[in-house]
């Protein structure tokens, strides 16, 4: 009888250790955000994604949603990033945040899902003099193999760029365009500028992946 009771007691004592950990309710969204930034600083992106997920759940806002989606994109988790962007439209926002959301969501739709119709609609919601508007036009032209027109649009984007991040995206897309136009020197010059200007996690990952994919093969001449 004593042995039987012990056998029952052991699984009961071990059960909490085997149960998946739940979200700590005593941790604020701001603390999750801080931990995410600390994890980013040591290049633990997977850990940072987990913290940002909790931050957004606890305090839904566009700023955190944009960072969360940016981290997801940097790891190639485009489907989850897409869900985060869609849900972010329900959060309180101002015009600046809404424009940033439209741009990032449009890029994802055009680049990773070939959903040009949605991307075009989102682009039209941006001011027609905004660098990001021209950059999206360049991406849409690029996706339709209209490379010379795409180059004109991305040059307009660079002329209107307000910060390094906007310049980084424009130079990255410019490198892709020059590659399709088979202009080697300008391809790698643009990629170099993209690297120098790029700040976002997704952008840096995309530049790195593009460089790694192209540098090991002869530059095409056809």
CB atoms within 10 A of CB 59: 15
Question: pLDDT band at residue 212, thresholds of 50, 70 and 90?
Answer: very high
Average pLDDT across the chain, whole number = 90
Q: How far apart are CA 18 and CA 12, in angstroms?
A: 10
CB within 8 A of 54, min separation 6: which ones? 23, 27, 29, 32
State pLDDT tens for residues 10-22.
344 333 333 333 4
In the chain, the N- to C-terminal Cα span, in Å, equals 84
**Is a pLDDT exceeding 60 seen at residue 57?**
yes
Going 173 to 139 to 131 to 162, the CA torsion angle's sign is: negative
Nearest alpha-carbon partner for 55 in 18, 22, 28: 28
User: 127-216: what CATH class?
Assistant: mainly alpha
Q: Which residues have C-beta within 8 Å of that of residue 75, sequence separation ≥ 6? A: 45, 46, 49, 205
From the list 188, 193, 192, 179, the residue with the least C-alpha distance to 222 is 179
Averaged pLDDT for residues 103-112: 98
In degrees rounded to 5, what are phi and psi of residue 60? -60, 115
**CA angle, 131 as apex, 197 and 78 as ends, to 5°?**
70
pLDDT band at residue 42 using 50, 70 and 90 as cut-offs: very high
Q: Domain-by-domain residue ranges, the chain?
A: 31-126, 127-216
pLDDT digits (tens, 9 = 90+) for 161-195: 999 999 999 999 999 999 999 999 999 999 999 99
DSSP class of residue 113? Answer: S
What pLDDT does residue 100 have? 97
pLDDT-based confidence at residue 24 (cuts at 50, 70, 90): low
For the beta carbon of residue 214, count every other beta carbon within 10 angstroms: 17
Whether 31-126 and 127-216 share one fold: the answer is yes
For the segment 126-147, what is each residue's pLDDT rounded down to a tens digit?
999 999 999 999 999 999 999 9
Tally: H helices and E strands in the chain: 12, 0
At the fourth CATH level, which superfamily is domain 31-126?
Answer: Tetratricopeptide repeat domain (1.25.40.10)
pLDDT at 222: 83
**Chain segment 58-91, per-residue pLDDT in tens:** 999 999 999 999 999 999 999 999 999 999 999 9
Token representation of residue 183: 């202009």
How far out from the chain centre does Cα 178 lie?
23
């Amino acid at each position: 009888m004593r042995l039987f009771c012990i056998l029952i007691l052991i699984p009961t004592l071990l059960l909490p250790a085997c149960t998946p950990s739940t979200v700590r309710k005593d941790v604020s969204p701001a603390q999750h955000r801080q931990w995410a930034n600390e994890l980013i600083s040591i290049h633990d992106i997977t850990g940072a994604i987990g913290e940002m997920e909790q931050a957004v759940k606890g305090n839904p806002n566009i700023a955190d949603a944009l960072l969360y989606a940016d981290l997801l994109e940097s790891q190639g988790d485009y489907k989850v990033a897409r869900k985060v962007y869609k849900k972010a439209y329900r959060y309180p926002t101002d015009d600046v945040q809404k424009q940033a959301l439209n741009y990032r969501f449009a890029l994802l739709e055009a680049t990773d899902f070939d959903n040009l119709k949605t991307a075009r609609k989102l682009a039209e919601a941006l001011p027609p003099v905004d660098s990001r508007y021209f950059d999206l036009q360049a991406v849409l032209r690029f996706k339709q193999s209209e490379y010379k027109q795409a180059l004109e649009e991305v040059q307009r984007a660079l002329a209107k760029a307000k910060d390094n991040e906007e310049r980084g995206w424009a130079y990255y897309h410019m490198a892709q365009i020059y590659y399709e136009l088979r202009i080697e020197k300008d391809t790698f010059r643009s990629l170099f500028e993209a690297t120098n200007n790029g700040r976002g996690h997704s952008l840096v990952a995309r530049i790195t992946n593009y460089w790694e994919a192209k540098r090991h093969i002869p530059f095409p001449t056809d």
